[in-house]
Amino acid sequence: MKYMLMVCTDPSDVVEASPGGLTIDEWLAEMAARKVRLDGDRLRPSTEATTVRVRGGDVLVTDGPYVETKEQMAGYDIIDAADLDEAIEIASKHPVARFGMIEVRPFWVE
């Protein structure tokens, strides 16, 4: 099953290396070896986001993120895991999980 890992951080946090976990290069290498990571990348800061809405036939464009929150989506990974348990295990190894958060969300399947 495909899952989106939404990698979220607080851009104002100062991040220090924490011992005991994988680096991003190690995590990427492990996921490549397991053949579970299908795609992924970092995103530009939320200050560079553009939000688009259509209301009453009008296109409304706003600079910046949709919601004001401390944590912002900083990147994503798309994985193909056997089940939610494996997806959680993969997300728990992501380096950002130690100081940010990883939202695990399954793709919609009909």
pLDDT tens column, 43-67: 998 888 888 889 999 999 988 766 6
Residue written as token pair 């492990």: 30
The tally of domains found in the chain comes to 1
Strand duo 2-9 + 101-106: pairing: antiparallel
**Residue-number span of the structural domain to which 8 is assigned:** 2-106
CA–CA distances in Å: residue 74 to residues 34, 52, 58, 110: 24, 19, 29, 29
Residue 10 CB burial class (10 angstroms; 0-12, 13-18, ≥19): middle
**Mean pLDDT of the chain, nearest integer:** 90
Q: What is the CATH number of the domain that holds 80?
A: 3.30.70.1060
pTM of the model: 0.85
Q: What are the tens digits of pLDDT across the range 11-23?
A: 777 766 667 789 9
